[in-house]
Structure 1
Amino acid sequence: MNLAIWLQRTAKQHPERPALFEGAQQVAEYREFARRVRSIAGYLGTFENIRPGDRVAIFARNSIAYLELVYGIWHAGGVAVPINAKLHAAEAAWIIENAGARLTFSDASSMTALRDRLASGADAVRAIDGDKFDKMRNAQEMYDPLERSANDLAWLFYTSGTTGRPKGVMLTHGNLHAMAFSYFVDVDVVLPDDAALYAAPISHGAGVYNIQHVMKAARHVVPVSGGFNAAEILDLAAEHENVHMFAAPTMVRRLVDAAKANGVNGQGIRTIVYGGGPMYLEDIIEAVDVFGPRFCQIYGQGEVPMSITALARETIADRTHPRWRERLASVGTAHSCVEIRISDLDGQSLPVGETGEILVRGAPVMAGYWRNEAATAKTLRDGWLWTGDLGAMDEDGFLTLKDRSKDVIISGGSNIYPREIEEVLLRFPGIREVSVVGQDHPEWGEVVIAFIVSHADQEVDSEALDDHCLNNIARFKRPKRYHFVEELPKNNYGKVLKTELRRMLERLAD
């Protein structure tokens, strides 16, 4: 079933419900939202010759037009190829050509640079804003969405590519159906008076979370800034009320800091779903202290969109369970639509409590990597997706992430998990952010190095940090050096780029 059907159904049943907002200003109700999508689909089919299965790329910041275009592509039977708006034009051009995109929509400000980088198809770049896009919104309508099956491709998502060229994750209509349904079961409810606020990139997980809000005729709010600004988010939440949003852990940290600085408690926010990495324990404890029980957590990957595990708001807010801190440091229990097991290198399941690679199978797992049979065969084996993440499962089914397998530090023959050290360091007064990586060492194989960001008004002493670590973790896990930096390198989703930290160490060594 074509995902676009849900928008058309909602528009028929709730035509006058408010749908699209730019900041505080309403742009369209559901009747108009659906009409625009039918017109965009009609234009794509008639004037751009987009046929079922054709890829259409979007290289743009968040906007109302982005949501309209995604549904227009689906309605016409096409495949949306969302591209991180902060990528260089050369990187975006590589993705467009690898995907074989028939057409690309871009912010007007990026079009010239993008066209200059495209080896072919430069004439197939269109602006996602301006008069020409407005004409698309008023073209002759394609009334019904073209038929698509559960196995047909809907969303071709390219991984971050921090260790090489990005891979195209093939997500089908069926994959996204499962993601949406499991949200209602495992994460949160959506009510018609709710508002989905898109502060995180629509090109990533926040974008696919639009689906369940369309199904329930909720509102869709894109900040005027087109991105994440903590003060703007807090103001919009108070204006709209009943706000849902997806946020990376670093975004939650910035929201909490902004709320504390302004003496507010997140009024108007009903749910913040955080993911893209688990929250550090001390950060989520403080977030609940400031905002109250407004948080849910999900763990997923591009290959299993938003749908591996979930940690309910009741569990996150609970302080009565004897192991509440342990559960709060986890990423929750399996989504209802997947199976999870912890495996050794040979694919054998490990006992409760032991650390191994996290394997997942179920309805939301990707169909494979686009035109990359070798990577697909390595990642999908015997029906299971090998995530590359290391974790341990407790007797109650709570999964705790240890690290990415590539980030594990092997020193003197012992495995050291950076996250464990990061959690300890974050409990030290004055530390705002920390990231731990391994550095090559001729005797030990690797040694532990910590990058520290301290609060501007506080000094952090290396000797005191050593004492703190020795009082909380084994001596062999203690960092051998601390590098104090003003900020940690991150991608536009807030994830720390440990690859870049390792490059920094190489430069320092030189």
Structure 2
Amino acid sequence: MNLFALLDQAAARFGDRGAVYHGERQVWTWAQLRERALRLAGELRGEPGARIAVASENRPEIVELMFGIWAAECVYVPINYKLHPREMADIVADSGATQVFASPMIAAQLDIGIPVETIGAESYAQRCRAEPVAPPDTDPAALAWLFYTSGTTGRSKGAMLSHRNLMAMTVSHLADFDAPEENCSLVHGAPMSHGSGLYIPPYVLRGARQVIPESGAFEPAEFLDLCEHHPGCSAFLAPTMVQRLVATGRPRPRNLRTVVYGGGPMYVDSLKKAMAAFGPIFTQLYGQGEAPMTITGLRRADHLDADDAVLGSVGYARSGVAVAVVREDGTAATTGEIGEIVCRGDVVMSGYWNNPDATATTLRNGWLHTGDMGSFDERGYLTLRDRSKDVVISGGSNIYPREVEEVLIEHPGVTEACVVGAPDEEWGEVVVAFIVGTADPAALDAHLLARIARFKRPKRYAFVDELPKNSYGKVLKRALRAQLMR
């Protein structure tokens, strides 16, 4: 089954009802959205499996592009609009995308050697008036979405997600977390290029309206206002976004019914404050791009438990997913024993695009090896303990230390550099760079901003005479983290 079938079903059931809203304004009904997607597909259809990239802040057109690309039996390649143009170009090149759609803000920055269609321009409007295609019948194993997530080496890796993978994710969400209907709404506060965008399929299937803020981003006051206006609102938010909502001091909007949080650590104290402010509306997910949004979860009912160990966990295995904790030799860890978290199920990717070595490392004996360390308690709750991959998750965005370190080392005033994450109440974690050398923070900021995305830049620099190392010369990051804690 092609994922376009979700929109097909919604249009058949709710054709004249509003489907996509920009702020409070209705943009398209379900019937109009279906027709526009099929007309786009008529313009895009070519070789099945062709990759088509989309780089944009949150906009209504992302929804029609997603389903139009699937209707054309092509592969959706969303790009985080916060990335540096060089990083965007790397993803386009790696994916082998033949076309790129970009918002006006992004299109002006891209110089990638292939056509860039500006979303909202007259040429884009012409594409939406092409001759429509018939709804496709696609092998469920066919590639649907290339989800790019950088590796610890700094090289972007495209997790290959099939129509079957995303259908399993859709069913699991509806089974575990939320039961939206046509009188409900999904408010896109988080980026539609990754976190929030993955929630489009289940909510489209149920006929819930897609609400895109006019700002194209997350503004707490705007988000809360939209949840006053639209019925039955749900949203996926990073923990830092939840904390920004609490900081407004405003009460829960009358129509805000569910907040799914994930993408980074939510401290128990912060979670308790959010529940005190907004009530029992929260659910938590633990997942990766390799198993999108679907490894374990903490249900709404679990949040009513006064036990901090439960609130500090990531919950139970999700529907349709097997989750285990294993030792280095692959044997099962005992209750309370820390090991690597692995999972398997229909939601797990088929591998990394054009990267057989990384695929072989991550997918072993039918299990996805997450690189995250955790343990199960006697009740079956999974708690994350550490990350073997050293990824820093700040405000819901993954930041990979090696990538930042490699750019820092290019500066003539840096002899050595080591990047770690430090706990932060607002952002979950912030990036801290330990530097051996003579460069000053302002110079390092300028150097980094010319080469990588702003959100990856260290929040703090610590200048040291030398980095702690073991007998093999490897930097001891745990010693640096301990130093930060002191």
The answer to whether TM tops 0.5 is yes
Give the C-alpha shift of residue 450 in structure 1: 8.5
Residue by residue over 1:363-414, the C-alpha shift from the partner in whole angstroms, topping out at 9 and shown as x without a partner, is 1000000000000000000001110111110122110011211449xxxxxx
How is 1:84-99 mapped onto 2 (pairs within 5 angstroms)? 84-99=80-95
Taking the aligned partners of 1:139 and 1:448, their CA distance within structure 2 comes to: 50
Taking the aligned partners of 1:83 and 1:450, their CA distance within structure 2 comes to: 24
Residue 194, structure 1, aligned to residue 187, structure 2: no
Aligned CA-pair RMSD: 2.9
Closer/same/farther in 2, CA of residues 451 and 215 from structure 1, 3 Å limit: closer
How is 1:233-244 mapped onto 2 (pairs within 5 angstroms)? 233-244=223-234
Closer/same/farther in 2, CA of residues 166 and 4 from structure 1, 3 Å limit: same
How is 1:317-356 mapped onto 2 (pairs within 5 angstroms)? 317-319=304-306, 324-356=307-339
Counterpart residue number, 2:429: none
Closer/same/farther in 2, CA of residues 291 and 137 from structure 1, 3 Å limit: same
Is the Cα contact below 8 Å between 1:153 and 1:171 reproduced in 2?
Answer: yes
Taking the aligned partners of 1:373 and 1:451, their CA distance within structure 2 comes to: 33
Residue 402, structure 1, aligned to residue 385, structure 2: yes
Closer/same/farther in 2, CA of residues 292 and 132 from structure 1, 3 Å limit: same
Amino acid at match of 2:117: R
Taking the aligned partners of 2:425 and 2:179, their CA distance within structure 1 comes to: 38
Residue 279, structure 1, aligned to residue 279, structure 2: no
Closer/same/farther in 2, CA of residues 454 and 150 from structure 1, 3 Å limit: closer
Query: Which of 153, 163, 175 is equivalent to 2:165?
Result: 175
Taking the aligned partners of 2:97 and 2:315, their CA distance within structure 1 comes to: 38
Residue 376, structure 1, aligned to residue 359, structure 2: yes
Taking the aligned partners of 1:345 and 1:85, their CA distance within structure 2 comes to: 37
Q: Which has the higher contact order (CA 8 A, sep 6+)?
A: 2
Residue 505, structure 1, aligned to residue 431, structure 2: no
Taking the aligned partners of 2:106 and 2:421, their CA distance within structure 1 comes to: 37
Counterpart residue number, 2:476: none
Unaligned runs of 5+ in 2: 394-400, 402-417, 427-440, 446-453, 468-486
Closer/same/farther in 2, CA of residues 138 and 352 from structure 1, 3 Å limit: same
Residue 64, structure 1, aligned to residue 54, structure 2: no
Residue 219, structure 1, aligned to residue 209, structure 2: yes
Closer/same/farther in 2, CA of residues 310 and 504 from structure 1, 3 Å limit: same
Give the C-alpha shift of residue 52 in structure 1: 1.1
Query: Which of 154, 164, 170 is equivalent to 2:144?
Result: 154
Q: SS at 1:330's partner residue?
A: coil
Is the Cα contact below 8 Å between 2:270 and 2:425 reproduced in 1?
Answer: no
Counterpart residue number, 1:249: 239
Taking the aligned partners of 1:270 and 1:507, their CA distance within structure 2 comes to: 49
Closer/same/farther in 2, CA of residues 229 and 395 from structure 1, 3 Å limit: same
Amino acid at match of 1:13: R
Taking the aligned partners of 2:72 and 2:143, their CA distance within structure 1 comes to: 13
Is the Cα contact below 8 Å between 1:59 and 1:83 reproduced in 2?
Answer: yes
Give the C-alpha shift of residue 286 in structure 1: 0.7
Give the C-alpha shift of residue 448 in structure 1: 13
Give the C-alpha shift of residue 66 in structure 1: 0.8
Query: Which of 81, 85, 104 is equivalent to 2:100?
Result: 104
Give the number of equivalent residue pairs: 423
Closer/same/farther in 2, CA of residues 170 and 453 from structure 1, 3 Å limit: closer
Closer/same/farther in 2, CA of residues 449 and 373 from structure 1, 3 Å limit: closer
Residue 206, structure 1, aligned to residue 196, structure 2: yes
Is the Cα contact below 8 Å between 2:81 and 2:106 reproduced in 1?
Answer: no
Closer/same/farther in 2, CA of residues 248 and 453 from structure 1, 3 Å limit: closer
Taking the aligned partners of 2:374 and 2:458, their CA distance within structure 1 comes to: 24
How is 1:40-55 mapped onto 2 (pairs within 5 angstroms)? 40-45=40-45, 50-55=46-51
Give the C-alpha shift of residue 452 in structure 1: 7.2
Taking the aligned partners of 1:301 and 1:450, their CA distance within structure 2 comes to: 19
Counterpart residue number, 1:359: 342
Closer/same/farther in 2, CA of residues 333 and 130 from structure 1, 3 Å limit: same
Closer/same/farther in 2, CA of residues 94 and 310 from structure 1, 3 Å limit: same
Amino acid at match of 2:63: L
Q: SS at 1:98's partner residue?
A: helix
Query: Which of 238, 256, 274 is equivalent to 1:269?
Result: 256
Counterpart residue number, 2:129: 138
Taking the aligned partners of 2:383 and 2:423, their CA distance within structure 1 comes to: 24
Q: SS at 1:505's partner residue?
A: strand
Give the C-alpha shift of residue 163 in structure 1: 4.1
Closer/same/farther in 2, CA of residues 310 and 227 from structure 1, 3 Å limit: same
**TM-score normalised to the size of structure 1?**
0.78
Give the C-alpha shift of residue 241 in structure 1: 2.9
Taking the aligned partners of 2:311 and 2:84, their CA distance within structure 1 comes to: 37
Closer/same/farther in 2, CA of residues 178 and 451 from structure 1, 3 Å limit: closer
Unaligned runs of 5+ in 1: 409-417, 420-436, 438-446, 456-484, 490-494
Give the C-alpha shift of residue 162 in structure 1: 5.9
